[in-house]
Amino acid sequence: MTNTTNPTAATVKPSFAPDTGVLRTMRKLHLPQKLRNRELALLLFACAINSVAILLVQLGATGAIDLNLLYLGAGLSVLVIGLHICLRYVAPRADPLLLPIATVLNGLGIAMIYRIDLAKSLSGWAAASTRQITWSAVAILAAIVVILVIRNYRVLFRYTYVFGALAFVLLLLPLVPGLGREVSGARVWISLGGFGSFQPGEIAKIALAVFFAGYLVRTRDSLSMVGKKFLGVRFPRLRDLGPILVVWALSMLIIVFQHDMGTALLYFGLFTVMLYIATGRLSWILIGFGLFGTGAFFAAQTLTYVQGRFQNWLDAFSPAVYDATGGSYQLVQGIFGLAQGGLIGTGLGQGRPQLTPLSQSDYIIASLGEELGLAGLFAILGLYLLFVSRGLRIGFAGQDDFGKLFAIGLAFTVALQVFIMVGGVTRVIPLTGLTTPFLAAGGSSLVANWIIVALLLRVSDSVKTGPASEVSA
Amino acid sequence: MNRELRRVSIVVLAMFAALFLSTTVIQVAQADALRLDSRNTRALYDSYDTERGPILAGGTVIAQSVPTGDQYAFQRQYPQGELYAPVTGYFNPTQGSAGIERYMNDYLSGTSNSQFLDTINRIIAGQAPKGAAVEVTIDPVVQQVAFDALGDRQGGVVAIEPSTGRILAMVSTPTYDPNVLASHDSQAVIDEYKALQADDLKPLSNRATSGDMNPPGSSFKIIVAAAALASGKYTADSEFPNPVSLQLPGSSSEVFNWTRAACGPGETVTLREALRQSCNVPMAELAIQLGDDAIREQAEKFGFNSEVSVPFPAGKSIYPSGLDDAKTGLTGFGQYEVRTTPLQMAMTSAAIGNDGELMAPTLVDRVTGRNLEVLSSFEPEVMAETLDEESCVELTQMMVNSVSDGQSNGARIEGVDVAGKTGTAQNGTDEPYSLWFTGFAPAENPEVAVAVVVENDGNLGHHSSGNIVAAPIAKKVIEAVLNK
């Protein structure tokens, strides 16, 4: 709109000048309108799917309809539509698919958690579904706050090192005596008094994404340009190895002290990939894999819990491993559940996902696979893939390196988390404790992932500046 | 930067491809094998949730599932108690099963291949899983008569429809109450099972089809006679020397007739007369002349030395091999190591009565699905051609004589020609006898073939005989069929 008051144009064609301005403004307003309308339609569809899922769970498991849960679900629908309305005002060009995908995944997770609560005859605050709904509300509100407060994501770049320090503190919190809590061997929780517990590592991954992106944008030149060539691959100078060694050491500390292989793999994988994209140097990937592989190898040799995870993975069905304490019982039960589901599943509310331990959290994907079948799992994995690809697309279309790296980092954490969890449950890799984004029971994970949604929405809004980039929508 | 991003995108795609593959492998490729894993309790719980189909005998419910509140969802009940125990067996969700319950489990539990489409329909219609109903061939009236006739004796009865092989009655006593073994109290069931196993009267064994088999004694003479007629070298009028006793070749033992006298006044005795009076000496002579191979061949045509399924496997009756003349002589009147079951002897009578055509015996008449559609129905099936028609007529006539005015007259029925043969088998010195009757009626066009065994002298001591104890039981069973 900078050229609407061109004095020469005004004198030559005085009657047309305002018209062009209006037309341009109209076009700019019209296209985002289209994006948001599309988002609204998909969002309503997502809410409809979620309501039907809850109804089917009730009919399948109890044969009766209990409206209370539907009211709570409707409350969440109101919140996501609230987020949608915010987007219309503060981020009208944001990607229209992210929000509906997150909504439907969150809803399916609630339906499955609720289904297992029914099987265990839990209700009220004892029921994980009630807590999950509450946390979903908190998470969506957090996303609204993020989208309203952070109007320009480049602000984050300014606080690169603050976020780095924040991530570090968050990671260390569970180790603080009196604050940290140990759950099934992993010390990754902090107590929130009466309100349960929180996994600060989930929030830390966002802070780390900011930090990595900011740091790499600042230092990428020295990390990518200098170094000796060896076997056709240019390797970095020794002193440039500093950052990757620090992150590696951090990951190893998490493995040793917090007993959390999944988180370590997530952070390290995230850093390595961002490093590679920032520098374009394959050697970083090789170094990263080498470091992590060596670390994991030694961990497997010395730490019994890591050893156990590998054994459960490789030899899950052997009776000795199956019957061992901390053995493959859970994993095999999850696989039995998946097998029971088969191609089309038992139907919501009609399987027995509750037979698998941790069926609401670590094994939520096995629970969904049992009742929705392979068809349902393909749909869920497809949704994740779409979500991640939208994130990567924002990276492609990004205007500045920080924005690109940041969006890719966020999208990649989701992809990596899905791979680590679903791959762990289906024996592609050893199972490690992480959360399946949006689906698994757990408040911190929900809050973190909804903030990721908000941040991706924010970045995508900024990259779509002209009509040319609308093609990608 | 975009080049690297493209590569990372490919890696992400590969990661998801691995997940699509791994879920497909588990949920499709390995699913069936995983469902069969003994540690997979889901399949087990599924079987609990299925309302097992009932077992019916001519409209009488002999096994059914009723809903319970416990984790097994249904309790199996046997309204007729021990009367049908040898037929139904029992079903316990955790402790195993037996009988029809075990061998028709696919249908009863709704997992047979022919019920696959039904399962799909059920899922679409939202109906609860339900197994198919199995209708057995047992006639409840005949079953009850046979059970009552045996009373508190140890023994077994089988009645067969000769033209089809349908089993009309199958009784074994003493037996057990399947309701006790179907209980969901596992420990009680295990205790009860152990007690039944330890019981000297062996209530768990099915004396009608298997169990500790008995020597057939003189009832085996019809098979020796059949072998003789089949050889073409003998007729009912073939004559044999008639001494008081027979020194067995190469042996110190002597064979006597049960009367300890010669078989009638003559120097010689006919086959007809030997059978009518149930003489051992001429039958031993005949057996030695025929040789064990010829007798075994005939016995195997009737079903000896092979297993038959009804559909649960019946015990294999035995005619031993590699016999010398002395032992062959003993088998001529069903002693030495010949062992058999009422089912086998009923099959033998049925074949003779059915012009030599042995029909495969079966208990299963029909299997019907939830909407009463027939999933499987019984078709009569020829199991073997045992004897030519002419010989059958001749043998039948001899068996009729044996009942009408011979040693098997305990089964005589006014106005009906009953063909039959008794047996009083020794189990060794001082051991109680096994008492037999097998036969069919009416002789011309038989509606029923029956075999009865009563162990332990029929609780009467050594003065009992097949004719005193077993023949009257058979008579009641035959009357029950003919009076219908």
Interface test with A, best of B11, B26, B34 (most A CBs within 10 A): B26
Q: Is B297 left (phi over 0), alpha (psi -120 to 50) or beta?
A: alpha
**Per-residue pLDDT at A470:** 38
Query: In this prediction, what percent of chain B has a pLDDT beyond 90?
Result: 33
Q: Is A12 contained in some domain?
A: no
Q: Is A260 contained in some domain?
A: no
**A468 pLDDT higher than 70:** no
Q: Is A310 contained in some domain?
A: yes
Cβ count within 10 A of residue A233? 14
CB B241 within 8 A of CB B352: no
Record: contact A340-B35, CB cut-off 8 A: yes
Q: Is A227 contained in some domain?
A: no
In terms of Cβ atoms closer than 10 Å to its own Cβ (0-12, 13-18, 19+), residue B109 is buried
Please state the ipTM of this predicted complex.
0.89
Higher pLDDT pick, B115 / A343: A343
Q: Which two tokens stand for residue B183?
A: 């209980």
Confidence band, pLDDT 50/70/90 cuts, at residue B108? confident
Q: Is A387 on the interface with B (CB under 8 A)?
A: no
Q: Is B137 contained in some domain?
A: no
Q: Is B235 left (phi over 0), alpha (psi -120 to 50) or beta?
A: beta
Record: contact A378-B20, CB cut-off 8 A: yes
Q: Is B149 contained in some domain?
A: no
Q: Is B347 contained in some domain?
A: yes
Angstrom distance (rounded) from CA B397 to CA B226 = 12
Query: In this prediction, what percent of chain B has a pLDDT beyond 70?
Result: 97
Angstrom distance (rounded) from CA B160 to CA B344 = 11
CA-based nearest residue to A84, from A453, A444, A443, A382: A453
Cα–chain-centroid distance for residue A282? 26
Give the tens place of pLDDT for each residue, A347-374.
Answer: 898 888 988 888 888 899 999 999 999 9
Q: Which two tokens stand for residue B143?
A: 């079953």
**A471 pLDDT higher than 50:** no
Contacts of B38 in chain A (CB under 8 A): none
**Per-residue pLDDT at B467:** 85
Give the tens place of pLDDT for each residue, A165-185.
Answer: 998 888 888 877 777 777 666
Q: Is B169 contained in some domain?
A: no
What is the separation, in whole angstroms, between the first and last Cα of chain B?
94
What are φ and ψ of residue A431, in 5° steps?
Answer: -75, 130
Which domain covers residue A140, as residue numbers? 22-149+306-473
**A411 pLDDT higher than 90:** yes
Q: Which of A148-157's residues contact partners 24+ apart within 8 Å by CB, and which partners? A: A148/A86, A148/A90, A150/A454, A150/A455, A150/A458, A151/A90, A152/A462, A153/A403, A153/A406, A153/A455, A153/A458, A153/A459, A153/A462, A154/A400, A154/A402, A154/A403, A156/A210, A156/A214, A156/A402, A156/A406, A157/A213, A157/A214, A157/A217, A157/A402
Record: contact A378-B23, CB cut-off 8 A: yes
**Per-residue pLDDT at B97:** 84
Contacts of B43 in chain A (CB under 8 A): 340
Q: Which stretches of chain B sit within 8 Å of chain A by CB?
A: 1-5, 8-9, 12-13, 15-16, 18-20, 22-28, 30-31, 34-35, 37, 39-43, 45-46, 123
Interface test with B, best of A346, A392, A413, A436 (most B CBs within 10 A): A392
Among A104-118, B214-228, B252-266, B384-398, which is the least confidently predicted range?
Answer: B252-266
CB A315 within 8 A of CB A308: no
Q: Is B122 contained in some domain?
A: no
**CA torsion angle for A288, A289, A291, A295 (degrees, to 10)?**
140
Record: contact B19-A415, CB cut-off 8 A: no
Give the tens place of pLDDT for each residue, A239-250.
Answer: 777 777 888 888
CB B170 within 8 A of CB B86: yes
Q: Is A369 on the interface with B (CB under 8 A)?
A: yes
Catalytic residues of B: 218
**A88 pLDDT higher than 70:** yes
For chain B, what is the mean pLDDT? 87
- For tokens 């409707």, the residue is A74
**B250 pLDDT higher than 90:** no
Q: Is A354 contained in some domain?
A: yes
Confidence band, pLDDT 50/70/90 cuts, at residue A337? very high
CB A396 within 8 A of CB A411: no
Query: In this prediction, what percent of chain A has a pLDDT beyond 70?
Result: 86
**Per-residue pLDDT at A473:** 33
Record: contact A412-B9, CB cut-off 8 A: no
**Per-residue pLDDT at A26:** 61
- For tokens 């045509």, the residue is B301
Question: How many domains does chain A fold into?
Answer: 1
Confidence band, pLDDT 50/70/90 cuts, at residue A156? very high
Give the tens place of pLDDT for each residue, A208-229.
Answer: 999 999 998 888 877 766 666 6
Highest mean pLDDT among B97-106, B113-122, B254-263, B298-307: B298-307
CB A463 within 8 A of CB A397: yes
Please report, for the domain that includes residue B388, its CATH number: 3.40.710.10
CA-based nearest residue to B355, from B317, B384, B393, B322: B393
Higher pLDDT pick, B406 / B478: B478
Cβ count within 10 A of residue A154? 13
**A142 pLDDT higher than 80:** yes
**Per-residue pLDDT at A369:** 95
Instruction: Provide CB contacts within 8 A for B116, sequence distance 6+.
Output: none
Contacts of B15 in chain A (CB under 8 A): 415-416, 419, 423
**Per-residue pLDDT at A34:** 86
Q: Which sign, positive or negative, has the C-alpha torsion B28, B34, B35, B36?
A: positive
Q: Is B18 contained in some domain?
A: no
Q: Is B262 contained in some domain?
A: yes
Q: Is B127 contained in some domain?
A: no
Q: Is A292 on the interface with B (CB under 8 A)?
A: no
From the list A338, A351, A415, which residue is nearest B27 (CB)? A338
Angstrom distance (rounded) from CA B394 to CA B187 = 58
CB B91 within 8 A of CB B182: yes
For chain A, what is the mean pLDDT? 85
Angstrom distance (rounded) from CA A141 to CA A273 = 30
**A9 pLDDT higher than 50:** no
**Per-residue pLDDT at A25:** 62
Query: In this prediction, what percent of chain A has a pLDDT beyond 90?
Result: 43
From the list B8, B23, B41, which residue is nearest A377 (CB)? B23
- H or E segment to which residue A129 belongs: helix A128-149
**A294 pLDDT higher than 80:** yes
Angstrom distance (rounded) from CA A307 to CA A303 = 6
Which domain covers residue B293, as residue numbers? 217-363+379-482
CB B279 within 8 A of CB B354: no
Among A36-45, A287-296, B470-479, which is the least confidently predicted range?
Answer: A287-296
Q: Which sign, positive or negative, has the C-alpha torsion A151, A154, A159, A164?
A: positive
Q: Is A342 on the interface with B (CB under 8 A)?
A: yes
Instruction: Provide CB contacts within 8 A for B444, sequence distance 6+.
Output: B417
